[in-house]
C-alpha cells in the first residue's frame, strides 16, 4: 500500500472541499462597475416576502417597493401628500366617494400602459391578495373606471386615512399584465424609477436595481444603480456601514456610537412609542385596573426622563400621550400630563381604596428586560406589585386578542390618527382586546371617521380622552437611528425609521 | 456490508419520521397567530378566516401532517407561508453556501488538528504545553466572538477582507474565497483545538502500546510507525470527534452566517422559526437530520475501513 488510507481520505476530502469552494465562481470579472456612476447601497433589515405590490408593507418594508413601483400619491418627507401617478383627487360631500385623476404618459417596465383600467386592476388585486396591509382598502367597496384617466373609489364608510394609504402599499401600481402571476413575486414589474437587475439579485442576500431609461419623473431618480443588501443582524449592519460596504442603514443607540466613531451621520426620527398598555379598563380580569385613579397612579409613578437616559441613552422624548407628534392628534398640553410624582400616585391609590394589593401581571418581552425591571422597581416604590410573566412568543397577537394579558409593555408605531385609533383605541383595535369604550369616546371616534380633512384635529379629542382616562402609561417616543456616510445625503421621512427611496441624493 | 448500510439507512428513516412528527406538533402549538402575523394588526376576522383556509390551518393536525408527508415523500416540501417561495428552491440556493463553509472548515480542521495533535503527542515538552494552553483558550472563546474580532481587525481596520459577504451571481471565485475566509476561520478554531486534543491523547495512548515497541525493535523507522500504524489506530477517536464537530457546526454556522450576512441556511432557519413558517422549518429540520444521519453513516464506514477491529463488531 503506497498511499496510507488516512492520507487518501484526506486527499479526497481536500479535493471535494476545493471543488465546492470554487463551485460558485461562474463568470469572473463581469462584476466591475462602470466608473463614475452614482450608486446607492442600502443595508436593509429584512428581505421582502414578495415583490407583488399587494404584498407590500409599511415602515421599513415600503422603501424597496418604491424603487420598482410608483404610488398614486407621493408622500413628501414631512408627510404632505403630493401628486404622483394621480394628478388630483377629490372627495364628494359625504366623504364616501373619492375621484382620482391619473397621469396619461406613464408606462410600466414591461411596456404596458398605465391608465384607469390598470389602476382599477391593481386595487381589485390588492383587495383580494391577502397582503399584510389589505386592511388599507377595507373601506373601499369598489373601484369604477370613469374614463381612461379617471377612477372613482366608492367607500362603504368614510376613511380619513385613505389618501395616506394611496401613498403607501395600497397605492403601489404594478403592471396589470404581471399582477397575480408567480413571476412578479420574485421580479417586480412597475412604473417606478428603477428596474430590477434579476441576474445580480440573490434572495436573502441582495436586490439590485438600475435606473429605468425614459422614467417620467427624473427628479425622483437620482442614482444609476440602487442595491438593497439584506443585513438582518445588527452587528453585520454596523460592520457593513463602518467598513464602507453600504452607504446607509438602521442601527440602534449602542451600535450608533460605533458608527459615530467612524464619522457616520445620524438621521433620527421618532416613529414608535414605548409604554404600558393598561388594557383591562373595565376591570374584567384585574378589578384594580377598572379604577381610573389606579391607572392614573401608574402614570405618575414613572420618572420617564431618567428611564430614557439610562436605558435608551436619551434617544427619544418622554411623553404621556400615545399619538405621535406628526399625526395631527398630538398636543403640547398632553406631552407632560403625567409628571413624575410618587406622592400623588400614592394618594390616588389611597383614594381609590387600593393603598395595597394592586398586582399587575406583565408578560416579558425579549430584549426589553431592562425596561421591565425599571418599571417593576418604580411601581413597587408606590406600592404596586408587578409580576413579570413568561416572554411573549410569536403567538402573541392571538394571545392579545384572546385577552390573555391585562397589561403589557410594548412598542407601537405612531401612525396617522385614524390608523392609530384603529390600532389602539377603537373597539376594532387589536390592542383594545377587552373592547373598552364609552358613548362619549365613541362619539369622538365617530367624529374622526367622518371628519375628512379635520380628522387630525378631531383626533386630538380622542387623544385627550385616553390620556385623561389613563388608558395607557406611555413612557417615551423612541428615536430610530438611521446612519449614512458622507457620499450621500438623506432626508428623514416622517413616521418611517427607514426613509423613502426618494429622500436619498448623491452628496454634492 | 450492504446489510449494515441498509440497516443504518432504515434506522435513519425511522429517526426522520419521528423527528418530523415531533417538530410538526411543536409548530402546531404556535400556529394560532399565523394568519394574523401574515395579514397584520388590522386584519378583520373574515380576512383571517380566508387566509387560514388558504393555508389549510382550519384542518385538524392529523390531516395537515399527512398532507405534508404525502407531499414530502413525492419531493414536494411545500411553499413558505410568508414568502411563497417553494421550500425546495429555498433550500437549494442556501445549502451550497452553508455546506461550502462547513466542508471547507472540516477539511481544514482535519488537517490542522491532526498535524497539531500528532506534533504535541510526539514531541511532548513545550510543544505539548503550548498546544494544551491553546486548546483551553480556543475552547473557551465562542466562534461568533472570534468572528467579531476578526471582522474588527481584518475587515474594518485593515480592509483586507469584506466585513459582510459579497457573494452574488457573477462574482468570481476570488469573491467567494474572500467572503468565506473569515467565517471559516471563526468556525474552525474551536474545532481545531478540540480535535487536536483528542488526536493528541489518542496518539499518546497508541504510542504506549506494546505493538509500537515491537515495531520499533524490528528496526522499522519512526516515521513509518507513526503514519502507517499509530495514526491508523488513533483515527477512529479522531473521526468520531470530527463527526460530532460537524454536527455541532450545523448549529454554530447559523450565528456565523448572521454576523457575516451570508445567504446560507442560518438566516432562513432563524426567520422561519421566529415566524413559525412551518413548511420552511420542516424543510430545514428534515435536511439537517438527514445530514446528521449521513455523516454518522460515513464516519462508521470510514472507521470500519481504517480499523478492521471496528468492522468485526
Q: Exposure of A481 by Cβ count < 10 A (0-12 exposed, 13-18 middle, 19+ buried)?
A: buried
Residues of chain A with C-beta less than 8 angstroms from the C-beta of B82: 49
Helix (H, G, I), strand (E, B) or coil at A81: strand
Q: How far apart are the first and last CA of chain A?
A: 71
- Which of B171, B174, B305 to mutate to probe the A interface, most A CBs <10 Å? B171
Residues of chain A with C-beta less than 8 angstroms from the C-beta of B36: 397-398, 401, 430
Which of B148, B172, B302 is opposite residue A28, by nearest beta carbon? Answer: B172
Tell me the ipTM for this assembly: 0.81
Residues A172 and A170: their CA atoms lie apart, in Å, by 6
Residues of chain B with C-beta less than 8 angstroms from the C-beta of A47: 83, 271
Q: What is the pLDDT of residue B32?
A: 66
- Which of B147, B267, B310 to mutate to probe the A interface, most A CBs <10 Å? B267
Q: What is the pLDDT of residue A31?
A: 35
Query: Would you call A185 an interface residue with chain B, using a CB distance cutoff of 8 Å?
Result: yes
Cβ distance B96 to A235 less than 8 Å, yes or no, reads: no
Helix (H, G, I), strand (E, B) or coil at A33: coil
- Which of A12, A18, A20, A56 to mutate to probe the B interface, most B CBs <10 Å? A20
Tell me A141's DSSP state. Answer: E
Beta pairing class for A265-278 and A73-75: unpaired
> Which residue of chain B comes nearest to A49, CA vs CA?
B83
Q: What is the pLDDT of residue B61?
A: 87
Residues of chain A with C-beta less than 8 angstroms from the C-beta of B151: 239
Q: What is the pLDDT of residue A68?
A: 97
Residues B279 and B24: their CA atoms lie apart, in Å, by 9
Cβ distance A26 to B172 less than 8 Å, yes or no, reads: yes
Residues of chain B with C-beta less than 8 angstroms from the C-beta of A232: 258, 261, 267, 270-271
Residues of chain A with C-beta less than 8 angstroms from the C-beta of B38: 130, 132
Cβ distance A21 to B177 less than 8 Å, yes or no, reads: yes
Which of B30, B82, B174 is opposite residue A395, by nearest beta carbon? Answer: B30
Residues of chain B with C-beta less than 8 angstroms from the C-beta of A206: 168
Residues of chain A with C-beta less than 8 angstroms from the C-beta of B232: 4-6
Which of B104, B163, B168 is opposite residue A205, by nearest beta carbon? Answer: B168
Q: What is the pLDDT of residue A348?
A: 96
Residues of chain B with C-beta less than 8 angstroms from the C-beta of A131: 39
Q: What is the pLDDT of residue A432?
A: 95
Q: Which of residues 209-238 of A touch B (CB under 8 A)?
A: 229-233, 235-236
HSE-CB of B69 using CA atoms within 13 angstroms: 14
Which of B148, B172, B275 is opposite residue A29, by nearest beta carbon? Answer: B172
Cβ-based contacts under 8 A for chains A and B:
208
Residues A82 and A220: their CA atoms lie apart, in Å, by 13
Show pLDDT as tens, one digit a residue, over chain A (508 residues): 344 444 444 444 444 443 333 333 333 333 333 334 599 999 999 888 899 999 998 877 899 999 999 999 999 999 999 999 999 999 999 999 999 999 999 999 999 999 999 999 999 999 988 888 888 999 999 999 999 999 999 999 999 999 999 999 999 999 999 999 989 999 999 999 999 999 889 888 899 999 999 899 999 999 999 999 999 889 999 999 999 999 999 999 889 999 999 999 999 999 999 999 999 999 999 999 999 999 999 999 999 999 999 998 899 999 999 999 888 899 999 999 999 999 999 999 999 999 988 999 999 988 889 999 999 999 999 999 999 998 887 778 888 888 999 999 999 988 888 989 999 999 989 899 999 999 999 999 999 998 888 888 999 999 999 999 999 999 999 999 999 999 999 999 998 999 999 999 999 7
> Which residue of chain B comes nearest to A422, CA vs CA?
B42
Beta pairing class for A488-490 and A265-278: unpaired
Cβ distance A243 to B263 less than 8 Å, yes or no, reads: no
Q: Which of residues 399-458 of A touch B (CB under 8 A)?
A: 399, 401, 422-423, 428, 430-431
The C-alpha of A379 sits at a distance from chain B's nearest C-alpha, in angstroms, of: 30
**3-class SS letters over chain B:** CHHHHHHHHHHHHHHHHHHHHHHHHHHHHCHHHHHHHHHCCCCCHHHHHHHHHHHCCCCCHHHHHHHHHHHHHCCCCCECCCCCCEHHHHHHHHHHHHHHHHHHHHHHHHHHHHHHHHHHHHHCHHHHHHHHHHHHHHHHCCHHHHHHHHHHHHHHHCCCCCCCCCCCCCCCHHHHHHHHHHHHHHHHHHHHHHHHHHHHHHHHHHHCCHHHHHHHHCCCCHHHHHHHHHHHHHHHHHHHHHHHHHHHHHHHHHHHHHHCCCCCHHHHHHHHHHHCCHHHHHHHHHHHHHHHHHHHHHHHHHHHHHCHHHHHC
Cα separations in angstroms, A143 against A69, A138, B41: 20, 12, 25
Which of B29, B42, B151 is opposite residue A239, by nearest beta carbon? Answer: B151
Which of A16, A25, A205 is opposite residue B172, by nearest beta carbon? Answer: A25
> Which residue of chain B comes nearest to A426, CA vs CA?
B42
- Report the candidate in A83, A180, A177, A85 with the shortest Cα–Cα distance to residue A127: A180
For residue B190, pLDDT over 90 is answered with: no
Which of B30, B232, B274 is opposite residue A5, by nearest beta carbon? Answer: B232
Amino acid at each position: 500500500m503506497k498511499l496510507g488510507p488516512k492520507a487518501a481520505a484526506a486527499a479526497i476530502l481536500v479535493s471535494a472541499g476545493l471543488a465546492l469552494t470554487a463551485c460558485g465562481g461562474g463568470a469572473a470579472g463581469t462584476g466591475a462597475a462602470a466608473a463614475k456612476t452614482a450608486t446607492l447601497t442600502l443595508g436593509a433589515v429584512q428581505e421582502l416576502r414578495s415583490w407583488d405590490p399587494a404584498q407590500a408593507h409599511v415602515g421599513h418594508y415600503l422603501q424597496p417597493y418604491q424603487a420598482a413601483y410608483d404610488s398614486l400619491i407621493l408622500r413628501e418627507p414631512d408627510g404632505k401628500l403630493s401628486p404622483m401617478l394621480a394628478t388630483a383627487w377629490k372627495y364628494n360631500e359625504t366623504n364616501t366617494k373619492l375621484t382620482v385623476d391619473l397621469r396619461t404618459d406613464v408606462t410600466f417596465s414591461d411596456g404596458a400602459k398605465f391608465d384607469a383600467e390598470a389602476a382599477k386592476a391593481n386595487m381589485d388585486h390588492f383587495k383580494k391578495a391577502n397582503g399584510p396591509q389589505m386592511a388599507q382598502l377595507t373601506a373601499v367597496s369598489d373601484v369604477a373606471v370613469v374614463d381612461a384617466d379617471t377612477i372613482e373609489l366608492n367607500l362603504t364608510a368614510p376613511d380619513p386615512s385613505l389618501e395616506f394609504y394611496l401613498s403607501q402599499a395600497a397605492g403601489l401600481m404594478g403592471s396589470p399584465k404581471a399582477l397575480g402571476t408567480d413571476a412578479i413575486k420574485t421580479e417586480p414589474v412597475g412604473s417606478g424609477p428603477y428596474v430590477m437587475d434579476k441576474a445580480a439579485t440573490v434572495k436573502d442576500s441582495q436586490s439590485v436595481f438600475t435606473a429605468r431609461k425614459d422614467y417620467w419623473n427624473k427628479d425622483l431618480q437620482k442614482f444609476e444603480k440602487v442595491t438593497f443588501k439584506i443585513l438582518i443582524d445588527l452587528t453585520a449592519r454596523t460592520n457593513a456601514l463602518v467598513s464602507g460596504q453600504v452607504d446607509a442603514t438602521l442601527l440602534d443607540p449602542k451600535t450608533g456610537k460605533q458608527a459615530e466613531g467612524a464619522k457616520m451621520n445620524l438621521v433620527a426620527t421618532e416613529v414608535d412609542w414605548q409604554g404600558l398598555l393598561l388594557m383591562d379598563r373595565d376591570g374584567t380580569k384585574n378589578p384594580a385596573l377598572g379604577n381610573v385613579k389606579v391607572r392614573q397612579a401608574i402614570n405618575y409613578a414613572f420618572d420617564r426622563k431618567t428611564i430614557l437616559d439610562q436605558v435608551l441613552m436619551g434617544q427619544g422624548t418622554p411623553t404621556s400621550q400615545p399619538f405621535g407628534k406628526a399625526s395631527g392628534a398630538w398636543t403640547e398640553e398632553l406631552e407632560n400630563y403625567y409628571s413624575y410624582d410618587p406622592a400623588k400616585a400614592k394618594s390616588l391609590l389611597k383614594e381609590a381604596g387600593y393603598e395595597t394589593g394592586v398586582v399587575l401581571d406583565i408578560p416579558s418581552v425579549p430584549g426589553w428586560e431592562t425596561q421591565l425591571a425599571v418599571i417593576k422597581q418604580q411601581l413597587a416604590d408606590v406600592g404596586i406589585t408587578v409580576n413579570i410573566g413568561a416572554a411573549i412568543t410569536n403567538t402573541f397577537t392571538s394571545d392579545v386578542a384572546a385577552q390573555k394579558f391585562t397589561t403589557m409593555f410594548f412598542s407601537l408605531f405612531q401612525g396617522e390618527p385614524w390608523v392609530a385609533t384603529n390600532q389602539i383605541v377603537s373597539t376594532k383595535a387589536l390592542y383594545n382586546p377587552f373592547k373598552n369604550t364609552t358613548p362619549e369616546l365613541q362619539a369622538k371616534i365617530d367624529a374622526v371617521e367622518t371628519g375628512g380633512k379635520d380628522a387630525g384635529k378631531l383626533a386630538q379629542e380622542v387623544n385627550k380622552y385616553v390620556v385623561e382616562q389613563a388608558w395607557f402609561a406611555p413612557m417615551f417616543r423612541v428615536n430610530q437611528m438611521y446612519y449614512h456616510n458622507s457620499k450621500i445625503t438623506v432626508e428623514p421621512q416622517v413616521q418611517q425609521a427607514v426613509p423613502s427611496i426618494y429622500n436619498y441624493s448623491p452628496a454634492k | 456490508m450492504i446489510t449494515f448500510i441498509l440497516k443504518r439507512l432504515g434506522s435513519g428513516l425511522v429517526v426522520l419520521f419521528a423527528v418530523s412528527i415531533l417538530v410538526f406538533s411543536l409548530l402546531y402549538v404556535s400556529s394560532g397567530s399565523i394568519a394574523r402575523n401574515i395579514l397584520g394588526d388590522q386584519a378583520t376576522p373574515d380576512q383571517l378566516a380566508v387566509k387560514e383556509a388558504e393555508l389549510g390551518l382550519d384542518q385538524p393536525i392529523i390531516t395537515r401532517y399527512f398532507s405534508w408527508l404525502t407531499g414530502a415523500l413525492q419531493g414536494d416540501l411545500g411553499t413558505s407561508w410568508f414568502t411563497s417561495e417553494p421550500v425546495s428552491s429555498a433550500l437549494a440556493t442556501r445549502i451550497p453556501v452553508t455546506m461550502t463553509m462547513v466542508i471547507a472548515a472540516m477539511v481544514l480542521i482535519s488537517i490542522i488538528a491532526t498535524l497539531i495533535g500528532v506534533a504535541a503527542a510526539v514531541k511532548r515538552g513545550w510543544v505539548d504545553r503550548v498546544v494544551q494552553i491553546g486548546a483551553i483558550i480556543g475552547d473557551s472563546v465562542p466562534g461568533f466572538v472570534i468572528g467579531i474580532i476578526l471582522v474588527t481587525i481584518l475587515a474594518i481596520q485593515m480592509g483586507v477582507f469584506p466585513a459582510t459577504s459579497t457573494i452574488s451571481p457573477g462574482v468570481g471565485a476570488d469573491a467567494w474565497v474572500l467572503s468565506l475566509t473569515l467565517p471559516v476561520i471563526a468556525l474552525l478554531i474551536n474545532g481545531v483545538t478540540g480535535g487536536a486534543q483528542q488526536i493528541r491523547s489518542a496518539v499518546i495512548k497508541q504510542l504506549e502500546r506494546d505493538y509500537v515497541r515491537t515495531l520499533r525493535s524490528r528496526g522499522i523507522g519512526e516515521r513509518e510507525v507513526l503514519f502507517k500504524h499509530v495514526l491508523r489506530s488513533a483515527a477512529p477517536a479522531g473521526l468520531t470527534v470530527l463527526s460530532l464537530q460537524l454536527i455541532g457546526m450545523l448549529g454554530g454556522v447559523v450565528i456565523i452566517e448572521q454576523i457575516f450576512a451570508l445567504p446560507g441556511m442560518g438566516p432562513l432557519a432563524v426567520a422561519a422559526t421566529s415566524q413559525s413558517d412551518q413548511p420552511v422549518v420542516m424543510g430545514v429540520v428534515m435536511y439537517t437530520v438527514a445530514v446528521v444521519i449521513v455523516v454518522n453513516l460515513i464516519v462508521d464506514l470510514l472507521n470500519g475501513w481504517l480499523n478492521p477491529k471496528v468492522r468485526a463488531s
